[in-house]
Every structure is written in C-alpha cells, then in structure tokens.
Amino acid sequence: MEPWLWNTLTTVAVGAIGWFLKEMSAELKRINKLVNQTREEVAKEYVTKSEVHTDINRVLDRLERLDMKLDRLMERRRANDE
C-alpha cells in the first residue's frame, strides 16, 4: 500500500474518531445539565420522608381523637337507652 494512501486513511480515521468524541463530550455535558435540572425540579415538587411522617402522624392523631369522641358518643347513647 502506498505511504500517502496509508497516511490519508489514518488521518481520516483519527479525524472521524476525534469528531465522534467531541460530539459525545458535548452530548454528555448536555445530559449532565438536564440531570441536574431534573434533580432541582424533583426537590421542589416532592416532600421529604420526615415531612411525610409528620403529616401522617398528624392524621393519625386526628383519627385517634375522632375515635375517642365516637366512643364517648356511643357510651352516652348506651347510657341513655338503659
């Protein structure tokens, strides 16, 4: 094979590989930026585990108070019926 042909093919191959790596690097930067934006958005929209536990405990406390009131109401009705 002629040396100039070999040099030309090698140059084209190295150039293509370089262009491909440059494009992949740009795409990786773009994806990294999108992932960071997604993380920020998720943090805005969703609650933390501790917030969920606090809210659930408030609901359970309210249900317990309601249960106690219903028990008292049923006891009064039983006492009135007797």
| Residue 48: per-residue pLDDT | 84
Q: Which residues of 45-82 are buried (b: 16+ CB within 10 A; e: fewer)?
A: eeeeeeeeeeeeeeeeeeeeeeeeeeeeeeeeeeeeee
| pLDDT mean over 55-64 | 96
CB-based burial of residue 10 (10 Å sphere; 0-12 exposed, 13-18 middle, 19+ buried)? exposed
Could you read off the pLDDT of 5-48 as tens digits, one per residue? 889 999 999 999 999 999 999 999 999 999 988 887 777 778 88
Residue 79 has pLDDT above 90, yes or no: no
pLDDT given for residue 25 in this prediction: 92
Cα–Cα distance for residue pair 68/74, rounded to 1 Å: 10
Using only the alpha carbons of the chain, give its radius of gyration: 35
